Amino acid sequence: MPAPANRIDERFTQLKASGKRAFVAYVCAGDPTLAATIDIVLALEKAGVDIVELGIPFSDPLADGIVNQMAADRALKAGATMAGVLDMIRQLRTHSQVPIVLFTYLNPVYAYGFERFHHEAAAAGADGVLILDLPPDEAVENPELKPTDELRHIQLIAPTTPPERIASIAKSAEGFVYYVSRLGVTGAQAEIATGIAEQVARIKQATDIPVCVGFGVSNPQQAATIASMADGVVVGSAIVKLIEKHGSASELPQQLETFVKPLVDAVHAL
């Protein structure tokens, strides 16, 4: 039985029809506060962002660089919880229908309860989930790890992923494949990684699902270059750094829109 349509699928259908690539923005939910996150997401949407990845703050975000680690720490110290993040999404949905992916580690989902998390996240208005440290093999073999078809399960593929594993992961991918363009942790980089076009082409041989590339994108030129090789670009640390700089200042939403719009425009102009 096919999974029901959701906002991620619809957005990629719209982008494909107009010949555009997707711009995906990452921020940590609750940084600087959950209330401020609503204004942040609305500012990102106003800047033209196609999909928003909301990080669930976690005490041990091992795949994240220092910028995103500190964002999670600020969010936790400000009182962010899984239940609080889901409630914030419910409030956000009264203002926006931007596609939302919950970017999380296994531990917070496990602690909250797999079935409870999936059903409540879908009911709140989330569209997808990316569990960084859940091996796709485990998800396939254990259906209880995916108790609902309402959320698209985004899969990660790395530069070191061998061809046979790329095919296996791509086969179970939903929404889009997130290609991690470099080894190591998240963080803005001065130069983009090599071999992106070849790896994206390899992934696209195994699936019709869109492929978005992230890890290290920080300026419009980098965003445009990567977008020319893929179906979308993910930008996170550069945006989170701006949130760190301005904190709870009233001008934060405008600063974000001003910073992000040239990045979005560079991707959409292709």
Active site residue 64: yes
Report yes or no: 151 and 122 within 8 Å, Cβ to Cβ: yes
Nearest in space to 130 (alpha carbons), one of 87, 99, 90, 164? 99
Please indicate, yes or no, whether the overall pTM of this predicted structure exceeds 0.85: yes
Question: Residue 223 and residue 261: Cα distance in Å, rounded?
Answer: 12
> How confident is the model at residue 187, as a pLDDT?
42
All structural domains of the chain, each given as residue ranges with its CATH number in brackets, are: 21-153+216-268 (3.20.20.70)
Task: Tell me the mean pLDDT in the region 52-56.
Answer: 98
The length of the chain is 270
Instruction: Read off the tokens for 60.
Output: 């041990």
Out of 64, 120, 127, 174, the active site residue is: 64
Confidence of residue 185 (pLDDT cuts 50, 70, 90): very low
- Check whether 197 has a pLDDT greater than 70: yes
Report yes or no: 202 and 166 within 8 Å, Cβ to Cβ: yes
> How confident is the model at residue 248, as a pLDDT?
82
Active site residue 133: no
Confidence of residue 188 (pLDDT cuts 50, 70, 90): very low
- Check whether 146 has a pLDDT greater than 90: no
Instruction: Read off the tokens for 209.
Output: 């699902």
**pLDDT tens string 78-124:** 999 999 999 999 999 999 999 999 999 999 999 999 899 999 999 99
Out of 9, 31, 50, 53, the active site residue is: 53
- Check whether 139 has a pLDDT greater than 80: no
> Hunting for tokens 């078809």 — which residue is that?
149
